[in-house]
Chains A and B, each alone.
Chain A
Amino acid sequence: MKKYWHVIGIGIQNNLTYRVNYLARTLFSFIPLFAMLSLWRTIYAGKEQGSALGGYTQAQMIFYYLLVAVVDVLTAVNEDDWQIAADIREGNISQFLLKPIDYLWYRLCLFFSGRIAFIAMASVPLAVFIFCFRDYVVWPAGGAALPAFVISLVLTALLQFFISYTMAMLAFWMLEISTFIFILFAFEYLASGHLFPLDLLPPVIGHALFFTPFPSMLYVPVAIYMGKIAGAAIWFRLLGQLLWLLLAYALARFAWRRGIKKYAAFGG
C-alpha cells in the first residue's frame, strides 16, 4: 500500500509543474461558462418574473452550470486516457509487468494526484467566479442531499476514470485512438448533462439516457445536490452509479488481460 502513496506524492509533484497550464485552462473555461450563463439570463429575461423552464428557475439554471463546473474540476479525467494510450503504444507498460505494482491502481493514483493538483490551481479562481454569482447559489436540497452528493461525487470520479482507462486499452489494438475518445466525449458532453440539464429533454429521451452510463458521469451528483433526484430515488441512482462503476471496472480488467496477450512491447 505504501508504494501507492509514493506514486500519489510523485504524481502531485509532476502535475504541479503544469500549474500555469492548469490555471490558464481554468481561466479560459470561464469564458464559455459565462457566455452560457448570459444566454440563459437573456432567455429568462424574455419570460415572466419567476417562471421556470423544465422545472428550473433562473437561479437554479445558473447554479446548475456553476455546480457542473465544480463537479467537473473534482471528477473529470484530464489527460489520463492519452497518457495510458501512449504508455501502451510506446512500450512503457513493460516495466509494470515485471514490478510488483498493478498498472490500474498505479494509474488510479496518478488520476487522484492529477485531480489534487488541478483542484489546488482551479479552486481559487473558481471560488471567485462563483462568488460573483453568489445571488444564484442554492444550498443542498435537504439533509440527505449533502452526504449523498459526496458519495455520488466519488462514484462519478471513479466511473470517469475506469471508462477512460477502458477506452485507452484500445491502444493495444489500434495506433490512433483519439477519434474514439472524442466520439465518446461528444456523447458524454450531451448525455451527461454538461451542455444543459437533462430535465429539459423530452421525458422519453431523458429516461432512455439512464440506460447509458453517461448521466452517472456528471448529472447524478448535480441533480442530487439540487433535489432533482430526491427521496428513495437517491438510493436508486447511487445504486445505478455503483453498477456502472463495477461494470466499467470489470471491462477495464478484461480489456487489459486481453490486451496483454497481444502486447508486443515495441521499443520497451
Chain B
Amino acid sequence: MSPKSEIQSPKSKDGVTRYLAIYAALWKTSVTREMSFKGNFLLWILVELLWFGLQLAFVGVIFSQTTTVGTWTVWQVVLLTGTSSFIQQIYQAFFLVNCTNLSELVRTGKMDFLLLLPVNTRFLVSTRQVDLPSFANAAFAVGVMTYAAGKLHLHPTVAQLFGFGALCVIGLLVHYSLMFMLASVSFWTVRAQGIVWGYYSLFNIARMPDEAFHGVFKAVFTFALPVLLVSNVPVRVLADKLTSPAAWLVLIGLGVIWALISEWFWRFSIRRYTSAST
C-alpha cells in the first residue's frame, strides 16, 4: 500500500465542510459512548478536580513558606496553575486519548482500516475520540483563573485577552505536535505508550513559574521543547509581566516549527507501517 495517497490534503472547495461533517459525526459517537457510562463520566470529573486541587494545595504550601518565587507572587502562580490546567484539559479533551491510542492502532493492525478511508489519516487518528469530562474541568480552571485575576486586580484590555487566547491555542499546538511525534515512534517500537505518558510528565513543568529554572534545563525546555513557554507566556501577557515581546514571538515561531517537524515525522514514520497479522 502506498502511503503517499493518504497524505494528500483536501484541496477541493467543499473540503472544509466535508471535514467538519466528519468531525461532527465523530463527536456524536463520542457523546454516545460517554453517556453510556454516566457514573464513570462524573467520577472522571472528580478525579481531575482532585488533581487540580492538589496542585493548588501545593501552591498554597509553597507560599506558606515564601512570599515570591523569583518575581512571581502567589496569585500570579495560581493564575499560572489555572492556565496550565486549562490548556492541559483542552488538550486532553481533543487529543490525549487519540495520541496514546496510536500505538494500539499500530500494534493491532487496525491502522489498516483508517488508511483505507478517503480522509486524511492524521486527521482521523488525531480526532477519533473526544474526551467530554475534560471540558467540565477546563471550565473549572477558567473559574480559578478568573478568581486569581480578580485577586490581582487585573483589568485586561481586549488586545490582552485576545493575545492570551491566541497564545493558549499556540500552546495547545506545541503540546499536540510534540506528543503526536512521540506517538509516531510506535511505528518503530510498537510499545510507545510509555514514551507518550512520559511526555505527559512534562505538563508538570508547564505549570511552574519560568523563573524557577536556570541554565541548560531552562534553555532546553524553552527553545528545544518549549513547554516552559506554553503557559508562562500567556499568563505574562495577561498579568502585565511580559519583559520583552520576544517571548511570544519565540512561542509562536516554535509552535509553527514543531508543527511542521511533527507533520514531516508522521509522513516519514507511516512509511514504516507494515500492518499486523489480521
Name A residues whose Cβ lies closer than 8 Å to a Cβ of B: 18, 20-21, 24-25, 27-29, 31-32, 34-35, 38-39, 42-43, 46-47, 53-54, 176, 179-180, 182-183, 186-187, 189-190, 195-196, 200-202
Contact = CB atoms under 8 A, between A and B. Distances in A.
Contacts of B47: 179, 182-183, 186
Contact of A195 (B58, B194, B212): B58
Nearest to B204: A32
Contacts of B44: 179
Interface of B: 37, 40, 43-44, 46-47, 50-51, 54, 57-58, 61-62, 64-66, 68-70, 189, 191, 194-195, 197-199, 201-202, 204-205, 208-209, 211-214, 217
Contacts, number: 90
14 contacts: A24-B195, A25-B198, A28-B199, A28-B201, A29-B201, A35-B205, A35-B208, A39-B62, A47-B66, A176-B37, A179-B43, A195-B61, A196-B61, A201-B61
A186 B50 contact: yes
Contacts of A28: 198-199, 201
Contacts of B191: 18, 20-21
A63 B51 CA distance: 25
Contacts of A200: 61, 64-65
Contact of B201 (A20, A31, A43, A47): A31
B51 A46 contact: no
Nearest to A196: B61
Contacts of B205: 31-32, 35
A190 B75 CA distance: 21
Contacts of A186: 47, 50-51, 54
A35 B61 contact: no
A179 to B, nearest CB: 4
B217 A34 contact: yes
Nearest to A25: B194
| B195, B198, B211: residue with the most chain A Cβ atoms closer than 10 Å | B198
Contacts of A31: 201-202, 204-205
Nearest to B227: A31
Nearest to B191: A21
A183 B50 contact: yes
B178 to A, nearest CB: 13
Given A31-B201, A195-B57, A200-B64, 8 more contacts: A24-B195, A32-B202, A35-B204, A46-B70, A179-B47, A180-B43, A186-B54, A190-B57
Contact of B66 (A35, A46, A176, A190): A46
Contacts of B211: 42
B270 to A, nearest CB: 22
Given A38-B212, A183-B47, A186-B47, A43 B66 contact: yes
B212 A35 contact: yes
A38 B213 contact: yes
A187 B58 CA distance: 13
A42 B69 contact: yes
Contacts of A179: 40, 43-44, 46-47
Contacts of A34: 217
A24 B200 CA distance: 13
Contacts of B195: 24
Given A183-B46, A195-B58, A42 B212 contact: yes
Contacts of A25: 194, 197-198
A223 B211 CA distance: 30
Contacts of A189: 54
A46 B58 contact: no
Contacts of A39: 62, 69, 208-209, 212
B40 A176 contact: yes
A21 B196 CA distance: 11
B70 A42 contact: yes
Contacts of A196: 58, 61-62
Given A46-B68, A53-B66, A189-B54, A21 B194 contact: yes
Contacts of B212: 35, 38-39, 42
A117 to B, nearest CB: 14
